[in-house]
Amino acid sequence: MRTGKTAHLPTRVRAGMFGFRLLPWDYGVRNLLRRPGRTALTLLGLTTVVFLVLLVVSFVRGLKTSLAVSGDPRIVLVHSLGAGENIENSTIAGQGPGVLAANLSRLETRYRQKYLSPELYLGTEITTESVAEPALGLVRGVTLTAPLVRRQFQILEGAWPTSGTVIVGRLAHAKLGCPPHELGIGRSLQMEGRTWNISGRFAAAGAVFESEIWCPVEDLQHAMKRQDLSLMAVTVSEPKGLADVNEFCKERVDLEWEATPELKYYATLQTYYGPVRSVAWLIVALVCGAGTFAGLNTMYGAVVGRVRELAMLQTLGFSRRAIALSIVQEGVLLAATGALLAVALAIPVLDGVAMRFTMGAFTLRLDGVTVLYGLSTGLAIGVLGSIPPAWQALRMPVVDALKAI
């Protein structure tokens, strides 16, 4: 005799690779459709959990990638002794570039132009035309040699800045917290007591320079009433050149200079922001834990209401392992659907969104690794949230389960 809940089962069932009879595949699917309200709420919760995981992981990946692509193995940063990662606090005499160029032979040179970029780098308050409240922005005073050394640099639109003008990175608006059109070509901004016109926009292949504002170094020195520099970035022509720059800085003790390979500088920043990434991964763990408990609660509610049905399946000859596998199948199907929905939502919503942090700004990175984290999280929640309820329900003796209300 068949009950109403099991009447749809065919007389012939499939045998799986597990060595016992399995319930039909569509049995689990139809069980989900029998409870549309509960299924929809569970699906919404799982989608939210996976979406949050994608958000945090894309944040970590974006921050890591931004710092990783900023370093060049052929570039050495020369700054004042002890400045370390706080290069904005470095001070170098204005004649420093001439001294360095005259004493180093392994600098990259083309058409008698040495790849040496004197730079004045600082954080300062910047005000745009329609936003009167000043925001902290990053400004770099440069010369025409800066694009030679910073090989990632590429003008997107407009022109290189001349006296009284600036060129803005494509993420500078995110650092300032203003709309992108506020830093459009032809607009103006105020910093260091002067008004600067915007002559163009540039990109730097995802490097941290994209959140900066570049202007002629002489103009910035004049506005700040100072004649010194923050650093000198040099490109060496061969690996031995790195050692030459370091050795020169050590020999000239009177200059009080220090040489740091650019790769090492950004690797230090990676370590500096290590606690931020650790907190982000902790958030991922907490979100995953909350999602797992939500899945457990939902599956417990679904299984407890089907005790008599599960007992009837056992009387029809299905083993407890087959029934448990069917329950896990339901949880995995639901979690996989939620994960796919979260990815489909996150790609247009999160990918490429600019985020602000102390070193500037970066974009969220929804790459293959991030998507893999999200999908794996969804499947893990589906499995872990289904096994305990299935085990609990099937521990009850069949006779008692048939009498359950």
Q: What pLDDT digit, counting tens, does each position of 311-353 carry? A: 777 777 777 777 778 778 878 888 889 899 999 999 999 988 8
pLDDT of residue 109 exceeding 60: yes
pLDDT value at position 328?
Answer: 81
Q: What percent of the chain has pLDDT over 70?
A: 86
Cβ–Cβ < 8 Å for 364, 58 = yes
DSSP letter at 371 equals H
Cβ–Cβ < 8 Å for 24, 10 = yes
pLDDT value at position 267?
Answer: 87
pLDDT of residue 103 exceeding 80: yes
User: Rounded to the nearest 5°, which phi and psi values hold at 366?
Assistant: -100, 70
Give the lowest-confidence range in 176-185, 204-213, 225-234, 275-284. Answer: 275-284
pLDDT value at position 45?
Answer: 82
- Three-point CA angle 4, 6, 11, nearest 5°: 125
Distances (CA, A) of 200 to 120, 166, 404: 20, 7, 74
Q: What percent of the chain has pLDDT over 90?
A: 35
pLDDT value at position 40?
Answer: 83
Contacts 24+ apart (CB under 8 A), 364-368: 364/55, 364/58, 364/59, 364/61, 364/62, 365/58, 365/61, 365/62, 365/65, 366/54, 366/58, 367/61
Averaged pLDDT, 276-281 = 84
Cα four-point dihedral sign 48, 53, 58, 60? positive
Averaged pLDDT, 43-63 = 88
The pair of structure tokens assigned to 74 is: 């052929």
pLDDT of residue 56 exceeding 80: yes
pLDDT of residue 6 exceeding 60: no
Max mean pLDDT among 97-101, 153-157, 178-182 falls in: 153-157
Provide the residue type at 111 as one letter: Y
CA dist 275 and 281 (Å) reads: 10
pLDDT value at position 229?
Answer: 94
- Three-point CA angle 133, 134, 138, nearest 5°: 150
pLDDT value at position 17?
Answer: 47
Averaged pLDDT, 235-260 = 90
Picking from 332, 368, 400, 274, the residue whose alpha carbon sits closest to that of residue 46 is: 332
CA dist 180 and 167 (Å) reads: 14
CA dist 222 and 398 (Å) reads: 88
Give the lowest-confidence range in 89-103, 289-303, 390-404. Answer: 390-404
pLDDT value at position 199?
Answer: 96
pLDDT of residue 285 exceeding 90: no
pLDDT tens digits, one per residue of 14-48? 554 455 576 666 666 677 667 777 778 788 888 88
The pair of structure tokens assigned to 85 is: 């990662």
pLDDT value at position 3?
Answer: 44
**Mode of pairing for the β-strands spanning 165-169 and 194-203:** parallel
Distances (CA, A) of 90 to 87, 179, 201, 253: 5, 32, 27, 16
pLDDT of residue 1 exceeding 50: no
Alpha helices in 166-225 (DSSP H): 172-176, 217-224
pLDDT of residue 162 exceeding 90: yes
Picking from 215, 121, 136, 211, the residue whose alpha carbon sits closest to that of residue 173 is: 211
CA dist 142 and 120 (Å) reads: 7
- The chain-wide mean pLDDT, for the chain, equals 84
Number of Cβ within a 10 Å radius of residue 298? 22
pLDDT of residue 2 exceeding 50: no
CA dist 197 and 205 (Å) reads: 24
